[in-house]
């Protein structure tokens, strides 16, 4: 039963191993001359000004939140879609009701002006 998942685990491992090998080859073949100026942080060619910390906008949180809500909605809808062929029409309409409630949430966010990129 776990057989296909073992292949997935092996492929993910191979997907991490092969770039690792390539980067190791780069580490072996490249020059190694560390230098304080080379390793300083890049700020368009001038010295860094201020701390390495910037204040981020609140809209990033809103997009992440809306993605969480729609992700959970999709997780509920996937079994509904898998069982689609055995459902009757009123059951399909119940799923449409589920989608409509969340679409109302998206519409609310839109009207509140939350979806603008400030």
Partner 1 sequence: MTLYQIAFLVAAFLTLIAALMTVSSPSMVHSALWLILTLGGIAVLFLLLNAGFLAVVQVAVYIDAIAIMIIIVVMLTQGAVRQQLRQVSRTWWGAAVAAILLFVSLLVIFVQSPQLASTAPTLVPSQETILKDLGQSLVDVNRYILPFEIASVLLLAALIGSIIVAWPIRRPGQEEGER
Partner 2 sequence: MTEFLQDPFTWIGELLKTWLTGLGLASDFVTFLLQLLGALVLATVMLLLTFLLIWAERKIVARIQDRLGPNRVGPFGVFQTVADLLKLVTKELITPTGADLIPYNLAPLLAVMSVVGLWAVIPLAPTLLGAKINVGVLYIISIGAIGTLGIMLAGMSSNNKYALLGAFRTVALMISYAVPMVLALLVPVLLAGSMDMSTIVNAQSPLPFLLLAPVAALVFFISSLGEVGRAPFDLLEAESEIVAGFHIEYSGLKFGMFFVAEFLHAFTISALTATLFLGGWQGPWAAQYPFLGLIYFLIKTSIVYFVVIWIRGSFPRIRIDQMNSLNWKLITPVALLGLVATSVAEKLAVEFAWSRLLVHLAASALVVLVTLTALGIYARTTRKRSEQMPATGATSESLTSA
> Smallest distance, Å, CB 15 to partner 2?
3
The reply to whether 92 sits near partner 2 by the rule CB under 8 A is yes
Q: Which of 105, 80, 103, 82 is closest to 93 using CA atoms?
A: 80
- Count CB-CB contacts under 10 A for residue 80: 15
Q: How many residues bind partner 1 (CB under 8 A)?
A: 47
> Smallest distance, Å, CB 31 to partner 1?
31
> Smallest distance, Å, CB 29 to partner 1?
30
Which letter, b or e, does each residue of 107-118 get, where b requires 16 or more Cβ atoms within 10 Å of its Cβ? eeeeeeeeeeee
By CB under 8 A, name the one of 46, 47, 58, 93 that touches partner 2.
93
Question: Is 66 in contact with 110 (CB distance < 8 Å)?
Answer: no
The reply to whether 96 sits near partner 1 by the rule CB under 8 A is no
Site string for partner 2, 29-58 (x = CB under 8 A): xxxxxx-x-xxxxxxx---x-x-xxx-x--
Question: Is 85 in contact with 53 (CB distance < 8 Å)?
Answer: no
């Amino acid at each position: 039963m776990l057989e296909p998942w073992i292949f997935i685990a092996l492929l993910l491992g191979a997907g991490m191993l092969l770039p690792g090998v390539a980067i190791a080859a780069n580490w072996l073949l490249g020059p190694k001359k560390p230098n304080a100026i080379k390793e300083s942080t890049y700020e368009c060619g001038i010295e860094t000004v201020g701390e390495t910390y910037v204040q981020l906008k609140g809209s990033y949180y809103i997009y992440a939140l809306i993605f969480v809500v729609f992700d959970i909605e999709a997780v509920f809808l996937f079994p509904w879609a898998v069982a689609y062929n055995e459902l009757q029409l009123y059951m399909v309409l119940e799923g449409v009701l589920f989608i409509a409630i969340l679409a109302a949430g998206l519409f609310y966010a839109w009207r509140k002006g939350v979806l603008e990129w400030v």
